[in-house]
Every structure is written in C-alpha cells, then in structure tokens.
Amino acid sequence: MLFLIMTALLILPVLIILATLIYKGGPAISWEFLFDDPREGMTAGGIFPALVGTIWLVAVALLVSVPLGVAAALYLSEFAPDNWFTRFINLCIINLAGVPSIVHALFGVGAFVLFFGFGTSILAASLTLAIMTLPIVIVATRESLQAVPLAFREACWNMGATRWQTIHRVVLPNAVSGILTGVILEVSRTTGETAPIMFTGAAFFLPFLPTSVFDQTMAMSLHLFVISTQVPGVPDHLPYGVALVLIAMVLTMNAASIGLRMYLRGKKKW
C-alpha cells in the first residue's frame, strides 16, 4: 500500500499536467496549426517550421551520439582493463552528465560555432545536444552489455570465435533492447532542451524550412519559450497548443522506441 501511494503521487502530477495541456491546448490543434507558418508577429498561424526543425535537431543529434556512445560503452565494457585510465574515463562521464545545459550551450558556441566554423546552424546545435546526451547513451549501453550473461561469451570463445565476432553476433543483438532505453531517454531530453540550441542554431523566426545541416532552424522548445515570454498579444491557447504538440512528439517517438524494444525483448531466448 505504501509503494502504491508513492507510485500514485509520482503519476498524479503527470496526469494533471497532461489534462491541463489537453484542456487548454486542445482548441489550438488543427491541420492549419500543424502545417502552417507563424503569422502576425507569431500571434497566429502554425508551428510547421518549428516542428520540422525539431525533427532535424533530434535526428542529427542521434546520428552523432548513438554511434559514439555505443562505441565508448563497448570499449569500457568489453575491451578496457580496470586501471586508472578507465576509471578516469568513468569519472569524466559522470561529470559530463552533471554539467548544466547552459554550460553545454557556451561550450557549443566556443567549439562548434566559432572554433570549427560551423556557425549558428543545425549541425552546431545538434553536436551540442549530442555531447550533452552522450552520458545517457553510454551508461544505458554499458549496463545492457554487462547484463548479457558471461556464459554467452564463453560459449562463443570455446567455439573459436574472436572477441569482435562474439560482440557483433551475440553480445550486441542481446543488448540492443537496453541500448534503445538510452535512445528513448536521449530523444526525450534533446526534444525539450532550449538553452543549448538557443545559442548555437535555433532562430527566433525563419520564414523558410532548412535544407541542410548548415542552415539555422526554428525549434519547438525555443518557439514555446518565445511566444510565452517575448511576444505580446499571444492568444492563451497558443502556448498550450505548442506544449501539447511537443509532448505528443516526445510520446510518439518514445512509443515507437518502446514498441521496438518490446519486440526485440520478445525474441530473446533467455
């Protein structure tokens, strides 16, 4: 009963928030709202450029962070010896996870916007998001790799398989559902981040869609911040509608990842 009460106390605020967004933002949702550009000083129209820009940012961040995170986790779990160097790497990963997002934003400006010369672009913003979310992917992947029984590895080695063949054919396929957990958490975080993209690639308003990673773009999180705090005369339902679509995007991407994870777990033999 105590655990049930604690669970209810955790779920209740989430349900209240969702109900509030649906009640106040539901009237704003329409095809025009989803597929039209902002108009009249962003007090009317839709969110299509911000919607497309968010997909750009999340997709590029995933393309960068998932391979790097999985590779780092593979090294730490399967190859690295237990010495001062690997302990130092683990300490860096822990510290990176605790860095505030505004610090990542300043790092992104210095490293990707200025030093590498990417300018304020989707690429600079996505790389900043990728660096910020790397610890999530690394930790989730490493835990899922370590959850694969050692007997699986020993059986492969006894059959003459190399270490890489064992990892590629046995360990990774059995750990992929846990890796998707890290991807789910990364998607949730990158979709809602504002500070890292505000200084590196997201724009206040753009009348066109991005065509490459070197373009600037609008983003849902920044758009919500702007119309809630910087634009006068915005109808009350508009910010709630943007927030509702943002939550729906996160839930949709998470649901797709969770569905794939459940399918892969169902194919396990252990």
| Tens of pLDDT, residues 120-170 | 999 999 999 999 999 999 988 998 898 888 888 888 888 888 888 888 888
Tell me the mean pLDDT in the region 82-111. Answer: 89
Which residue(s) pair with 45 in the sheet? 38
Domain ranges within the chain, ordered by starting residue: 57-218+235-266
Choice between 254 and 111, residue whose per-residue pLDDT is larger: 111
Question: What is the rounded distance in angstroms from the CA atom of residue 155 to the CA atom of residue 73?
Answer: 22
> 64 vs 98, 99, 220, CA distance in Å?
20, 19, 21
The architecture (CATH level 2) of 57-218+235-266 comes to: Orthogonal Bundle (1.10)
Q: Which two tokens stand for residue 48?
A: 């299509």
Transcribe 101-146 into DSSP letters: HHHHHHHHIIIIIIIS---SSHHHHHHHHHHHHHHHHHHHHHHHHH
Residue 233 CB neighbours (<10 A):
9
Question: What is the rounded distance in angstroms from the CA atom of residue 122 to the CA atom of residue 140?
Answer: 26
Which DSSP symbol is given to 207? S
- Residue bearing tokens 């789910």: 184
Question: What is the rounded distance in angstroms from the CA atom of residue 216 to the CA atom of residue 199?
Answer: 11
Are the CB atoms for 224 and 239 separated by under 8 Å?
yes
Kindly report, residue by residue over 18-50, the tens digit of the pLDDT.
Answer: 999 999 998 889 888 889 988 888 888 889 999
Choice between 94 and 257, residue whose per-residue pLDDT is larger: 94
pLDDT band at 250 (very low <50, low <70, confident <90, very high): confident
- Calculated CA dihedral for residues 158, 161, 165, 168, nearest 10 degrees: -30
According to the 3-state scheme, what is the secondary structure of 13-78? HHHHHHHHHHHHHHHHCCHHHHHCCEECCCCEECCHHHHHHHHHHHHHHHHHHHHHHHHHHHHHHH
Element (H, E) at 247: helix 237-266
Among candidate residues 165, 183, 162, the one with its CA nearest the CA of residue 257: 183
Q: Which two tokens stand for residue 114?
A: 């200025």
Amino acid in position 95: N
pLDDT band at 268 (very low <50, low <70, confident <90, very high): low
